[in-house]
């Protein structure tokens, strides 16, 4: 009798334990959403770049994914995206603090990266420590290979300063050999991550292409008055002017050049020159202005993406990193669709897989995107790619630039 009771009790306990495990497993599997967070500059000096390149693409992607029923899982089920967003206030310290909060307190499934090279470098160790893939779309660095080896779940999507400097030097060399410009170049560069990387690469690239730097001056980040720099560049005798600058600087330099009636045959400004607001900044005189990046103006995918972006956001995207930002999100969605929500598996798929995106087929090389447009130019109301010159879709540059 006692033995029977003990057996009955054991069976009841076992059944209850199994039921509890099954119930717990069912709860764990009953997801209602995928939590994706990001801390990006919604205020402060970086807000211009983040507000044009990064944030609109995050919101557009979430909208389009959710309108389609959510992110597709390997079993065919779809889960909507639940977005958690913070403002890092253009502070690297805040970006680090908020990234840690997303990982440790909000426990999001994935974290989307901040805007800017310096901020991506600041948060990279945290992504690595918490095991999140980092799609560093707006990080321009010649150390991408080194960083990808150090932080094995980091992915660098915009190339390095050497790529952009060499491409620009080749465009200028072709123009000089055609007798269109002289062999002198005037350069100014912001004394911060992006500018330092670009000028460090540009000096040897321009020299190797047969140019003399008639003027080469760095300026502190946050500079707002460029009158003295532009006057000195004007007196250098250079036909080509280059500014490796952040968006506010690029806009201020353009306005100062117009005020001073400075009309070099080549006028190139860094980040911001490809922004959709540049025609307004230049008061409709954008024709011939060059900048970093570009898009394939003949691509139907790019055309469709521009239309969707403008319809939802109210303005067109920029013609450099915007499309790459959206493409990185498409890559993330496709990786999740293949391997699920395991971050280790998603990172491995991003590293080795092939993806169909708005910028065309993408397959990373050593965690880097290498098929990039490196220089572009405003031609009428479109900013089109002009380098690499031998890549399908490249337009012929207009040199000299029409006078302001």
The model's pLDDT over 358-376, given as tens digits with 9 standing for 90+, comes to 999 999 999 999 999 999 9
Q: Note the pLDDT of residue 82.
A: 98
% of the chain with per-residue pLDDT over 70: 93
- Whether the link from the prior residue into 95 is cis, omega within 30° of 0, is no
Section 208-223 average pLDDT: 96
Section 172-193 average pLDDT: 96
pLDDT by residue (tens digit) across 275-331? 999 999 999 999 999 999 999 888 999 999 999 999 999 999 999 999 999 999 999
pLDDT by residue (tens digit) across 85-118? 999 999 999 999 999 999 999 999 999 999 998 8
The answer, yes or no, to whether residue 1 has pLDDT greater than 50, is no
The answer, yes or no, to whether residue 17 has pLDDT greater than 60, is no
Section 387-396 average pLDDT: 93
The answer, yes or no, to whether residue 20 has pLDDT greater than 60, is no
Q: Note the pLDDT of residue 136.
A: 97
% of the chain with per-residue pLDDT over 90: 88
Q: How does residue 22 score in pLDDT terms, banded at 50, 70 and 90? A: very low
Asked if the domains 34-160+299-362 and 161-296+374-387 are classified in one and the same CATH topology, the answer is yes
Domain ranges of the chain: 34-160+299-362, 161-296+374-387
* Dihedral sign, Cα of residue 244, residue 245, residue 249, residue 250: positive
For residue 375, list its beta bridge partners. Answer: 292, 387
pLDDT by residue (tens digit) across 58-69? 999 999 999 999
CA distances from 125 to 109, 122, 129, 174, 265 (A): 17, 7, 6, 42, 44
Q: Note the pLDDT of residue 29.
A: 55
Mean pLDDT, the chain, rounded, equals 92
pLDDT by residue (tens digit) across 114-136? 999 889 999 999 999 999 999 99
The answer, yes or no, to whether residue 267 has pLDDT greater than 60, is yes
Instruction: Assign 157 to helix, strand or coil.
Output: coil
Calpha distance 312→52 (Å, rounded): 13
Section 380-394 average pLDDT: 93
Angle value at C-alpha 71, between 67 and 76, nearest 5 degrees: 110
- Whether the link from the prior residue into 118 is cis, omega within 30° of 0, is no
Section 321-343 average pLDDT: 98
Q: Note the pLDDT of residue 37.
A: 98
Calpha distance 211→232 (Å, rounded): 18
321 and 138 in contact (C-beta within 8 Å)? Answer: yes
Q: CB-based contacts of 281: which residues, under 8 Å, 6+ apart? A: 251, 254, 255
Section 156-173 average pLDDT: 96
Q: Note the pLDDT of residue 192.
A: 87
Lowest mean pLDDT among 25-34, 51-60, 236-245, 343-352: 25-34
User: 6 or 154: which carries more pLDDT confidence?
Assistant: 154
In this structure, which CATH number among 3.30.470.20, 3.60.15.10, 3.30.70.20, 3.40.50.2300 belongs to the domain 34-160+299-362? Answer: 3.40.50.2300
Q: Note the pLDDT of residue 193.
A: 79
The CATH superfamily of 161-296+374-387 is Response regulator (3.40.50.2300)
Q: Note the pLDDT of residue 33.
A: 97
Strands (E), 220-347: 240-244, 266-269, 290-292
The answer, yes or no, to whether residue 24 has pLDDT greater than 70, is no
The answer, yes or no, to whether residue 53 has pLDDT greater than 70, is yes
Section 204-218 average pLDDT: 98
């Amino acid at each position: 009798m006692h033995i029977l009771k003990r057996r009955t009790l054991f069976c009841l306990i076992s059944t209850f334990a199994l039921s509890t495990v099954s119930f717990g497993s069912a709860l764990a599997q009953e997801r209602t959403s995928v939590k994706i967070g990001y801390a990006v500059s919604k205020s402060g000096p970086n807000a211009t770049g983040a507000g044009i390149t990064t944030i609109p693409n995050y919101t557009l992607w979430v909208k389009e994914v959710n309108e389609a029923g959510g992110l597709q899982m390997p079993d065919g089920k779809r889960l909507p995206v639940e977005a958690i967003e913070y403002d890092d206030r253009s502070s690297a310290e805040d970006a680090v603090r908020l990234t840690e909060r997303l990982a440790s307190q909000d426990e999001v499934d994935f974290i989307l990266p901040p805007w800017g090279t310096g901020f991506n470098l600041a948060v990279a160790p945290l992504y690595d420590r918490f095991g999140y893939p980092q799609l560093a779309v707006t990080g321009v660095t010649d150390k991408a290979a080194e960083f990808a080896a150090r932080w094995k779940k980091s992915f660098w999507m915009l190339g390095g300063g050497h790529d952009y400097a060499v491409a620009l030097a080749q465009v200028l060399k072709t123009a000089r050999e055609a007798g269109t410009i002289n062999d002198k170049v005037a350069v100014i560069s912001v004394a911060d991550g992006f500018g330092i990387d670009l000028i460090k690469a540009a000096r040897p690239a321009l020299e190797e292409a047969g140019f003399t730097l008639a003027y080469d001056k760095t300026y502190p980040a946050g500079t707002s008055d460029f009158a003295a720099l532009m006057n000195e560049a004007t007196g250098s005798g250079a036909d080509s002017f280059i500014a490796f600058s952040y968006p506010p600087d690029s806009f201020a330099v353009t306005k100062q050049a117009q005020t001073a009636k400075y009309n070099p045959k080549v006028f190139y400004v860094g980040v911001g020159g490809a922004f959709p607001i540049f025609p307004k900044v230049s008061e409709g005189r954008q024709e011939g202005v060059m900048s970093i990046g570009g898009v394939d103006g003949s691509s139907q995918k790019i055309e469709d993406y521009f239309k969707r972006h403008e319809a939802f956001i109210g303005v067109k995207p920029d013609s450099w990193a915007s499309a790459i930002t959206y493409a990185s999100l498409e890559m993330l969605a496709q990786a999740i669709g293949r391997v699920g929500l395991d971050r280790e598996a998603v990172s491995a798929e991003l590293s080795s897989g092939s993806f169909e995106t708005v910028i065309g087929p993408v397959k990373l090389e050593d965690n880097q995107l290498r098929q990039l447009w490196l220089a572009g130019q405003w031609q009428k109301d479109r900013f089109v790619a002009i380098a690499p010159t031998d890549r399908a879709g490249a337009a012929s540059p207009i040199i000299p630039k029409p006078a302001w």
